[in-house]
Structure 1
C-alpha cells in the first residue's frame, strides 16, 4: 500500500520519476500568455503525477487546458492489464458521479423550455410514489441532495438489481425500489448525498422530454457538445470494448481486481454515474457549458452556483458548496466548479476555473485517491 501523501510531499518532494508515458502537447494560441512552467510538460504537476504512477498509486489520464487549449495531457498505467493495453489520451473511462453534471444540465434545459420547474414535486412528473414523497420532495431538493430520497447504506451481501439486463430494467427496477423506500429524513432539513435521488431526476427528464433519459442525454448534451466518444455503456459493452479502461478496485488485502469482471458489477449506474468518457470529450463539455452552447448563460450560472453549504473535505478550500449537480469550491479567492466521480475502480475529477479560463481533468481506473494530484493542480492554478 502507498503511504499517505502529505501537502508537503505534494508541493515539495517531486522526485525525478520516470516520464515514460503517453504525452500530448498542443501549443496555446499566440494571444494567450504562456502557461506557468509548473503546469507544462516536465513541470511540477507532470512530475508529481508520474511519481504517483511509479508508486502504483495512479493509473489513468490527466489533462490541463487554458482558454480551451490543452497545455498538457499525460497517461499512465494500463487500461487492460490482461492484454497489456496502456491508458492513452483517447482512452474511455467510467466517469461515475461526474455523470450527475449531465443529469442536472438536462433538468435545467427542460426548465429553460418550461417543461418543468425547480419547485415541482416528484408527483407532478412521476406516478406511484407515496404521498410523503410525491407531494413534498422537489426537483430542487433532489438536485441539492436535500430530499431525503434514497435507500440507506447496507453492509455486506449481494446488492439488488444484478439481474437487470437492459437500461430500461435499470431505470424501472430502481424506481420500483425507491417507491418502496421511506424517506430517510424530512425533505429540506439536511444534506445527504443520494445517488438514488439522481436516478429519480433521470426519470423526471425522461417524462418531461418524452423519450428515454439516455437518448435525451445523447442528443441534447453529448452531441451538441461534440463529445463523440462519450456514451452510457453497459457491463457487457465494457467487457467487449478494448477502448474502455477496465476499472481496477482495491480489495481488502490491498490487491486490485478487475471490477468489470466482478459478479457484483451492475449493468449500469444510470443517471447517477453510468456515463463513460475521455479527457478530451470532458474538455469539450466544459467549453460548451461555460460558453452557453448547451444552456442559456443565466441558467448556467443558476445550476453551477452554490446552494448547499458542505462540511470541510479532504481538499483544502475557503468554502465549498453543492449547486444543482455541480460542486463549488473557493481556493485562494478563486472559484472552482465541477464534480468528482468515484466508485470501485474509479477516481475522477472535473475542475473548471471560470474566471481564470483553466480546466483540469483527472480520470483514473484505480480507486486510489487522486486528492493529492487535484490539490497540487489547484494550488498551481490559483496561486
Structure 2
C-alpha cells in the first residue's frame, strides 16, 4: 500500500514516453463519451485524466456563467461540494500525526459547550460518519436566521452555536449515517487545536503545501463577481436550470463539509500531494485512505477518513464524491495503476456514467451502475 502511494508521483519520470491507453487519451472513447454528454446538455464542467501525476487528457465544456456567456476553462474553479470533506480530513490527520489530536479522544476533549452525550463521540467516529452528531445527512432542517448570515464570522459562529443545540441522533459507533455536521465539528477541532481559523489552516497546510494556488473558500459576492469561478446551475422541476448562487439558500461561504472551490488541475495536485507524502507521511496517508466502515455492496465500498475506498476487481480506488444543487463531482485515485480521474461539474446531472467509464477503462472491469 505504501509503495503504491509513493508510486503515484515517484514513477513520473520513468513513465515519460509511455503511451497512454488510446481509450483514455485525446480522441479516445472517454473523450468522445464526455463530449457527447456535453453536446446533449448532460454535462458542464471539466474532466481530467492523469497518469503518474501527468495529465493525459483535460477537457472543459459548458458555461461558467450563462449571463455573461463565459465558458468553463480548465482553470475555472468549481464548487467541490463534499470533496471538501477530504480536505478537512487531511487537516485533522495532520494534527493527529503531530500528536495534537487523538483519533480515540472524545470531541469534548477539544471543544466546549456540547451536551455530554454528544461530547462523548470520538474524532474517529466523526471522521467515519458514525458519531450520531448533528442533523441527518439528507434534511431540509436549517439553522434559524441562516439566510441573514453575511460574513465568514457569522457563518462560523452561527453554525457552531446551532450545532450545540442538537441532540445526539444515535449512540456513537452503532451505525454509519453520512453527516455534514459531523465534519463541521471536525473543522471546529482544527481551529481550536491549531489556533487558526479553519479556513486559514486549510489554506496554509493543505492548499499551499499541495501547490493548489488558485483554490479557496470564496464568499457568495466573490463567486458572483469572478468570471473564473463557475456558477452552480441547479435543475428545476420543469427541466430548466437556474443559477443556485442567486438563491437565498446558497451559503455565504463554504466550510469543513462543502464549498471549497478548486480547478481540476488543483484537485490533481491535491491527489498527488496526498499520495506522494507531501500532505501526510505515507503511513498516515494509508490510514486516511483505507476503508473503515462498509457503505456499499457492489462494488464493495468502505469509508475512511474523508475518503471512500472502492474495490474494483483487484484494484483499489480511493477518493470522494460531491453533489448538491448545481454540483456533481468525483475524484478517483487508482494508487496501484498510477491513474487519477477528476470530474467537476456545475450541473447536478449525475456524472456517474462518466465515472463508471473511466473506472472501466483504467481497471478493465465494467462497473456501470445504470
TM-score by length of 2: 0.92
Within-5 A mapping of 1:189-338? 189-312=174-297, 317=299, 319-338=300-319
The alignment partner of 1:231 has SS state of coil
Q: Which residue does the alignment assign to 1:19? A: none
Q: CA deviation at 1:31?
A: 3.7
Aligned equivalent of 1:370, options 310, 331, 351: 351
Structure 2: distance between partners of 1:103 and 1:66: 25
Structure 2: distance between partners of 1:154 and 1:198: 16
Q: Which residue does the alignment assign to 2:121? A: 137
Q: CA deviation at 1:173?
A: 1.0
Q: Which residue does the alignment assign to 1:47? A: 32
**Deviation per residue, 1:79-124 (Å, 9 max, x gap):** 1111111111111100011111110000010111111100111110
Aligned equivalent of 1:150, options 115, 119, 134: 134
> RMSD of the alignment, in Å?
1.6
Closer, same or farther: CA 255–158 of 1 in aligned 2, 3 Å: farther
Closer, same or farther: CA 156–305 of 1 in aligned 2, 3 Å: closer
Question: Would the aligned equivalents of 1:96 and 1:275 in 2 still touch at CA under 8 Å?
Answer: yes
Closer, same or farther: CA 239–51 of 1 in aligned 2, 3 Å: same
Structure 2: distance between partners of 1:223 and 1:333: 34
Out of 159-168 and 220-229, give the one that drifted further: 159-168
Q: CA deviation at 1:158?
A: 9.1
Does 2:360 correspond to 1:379? yes
Q: CA deviation at 1:45?
A: 0.3
Structure 1: distance between partners of 2:237 and 2:78: 23
Q: Which residue does the alignment assign to 2:8? A: none
Q: CA deviation at 1:269?
A: 3.2
Q: Which residue does the alignment assign to 2:80? A: 95
* 5+ long unaligned stretches in structure 2: 1-11, 365-370
The alignment partner of 2:347 has SS state of coil
Closer, same or farther: CA 130–79 of 1 in aligned 2, 3 Å: same
Q: Which residue does the alignment assign to 2:9? A: none
Q: CA deviation at 1:367?
A: 0.4
Question: Would the aligned equivalents of 1:65 and 1:360 in 2 still touch at CA under 8 Å?
Answer: yes
Q: Which residue does the alignment assign to 1:181? A: 166
**Deviation per residue, 1:331-373 (Å, 9 max, x gap):** 1210000100111000000100111110000000000000000
Question: Would the aligned equivalents of 2:190 and 2:198 in 1 still touch at CA under 8 Å?
Answer: yes
Question: Would the aligned equivalents of 1:28 and 1:71 in 2 still touch at CA under 8 Å?
Answer: no
Closer, same or farther: CA 159–240 of 1 in aligned 2, 3 Å: farther
TM-score by length of 1: 0.89
Q: CA deviation at 1:180?
A: 0.6
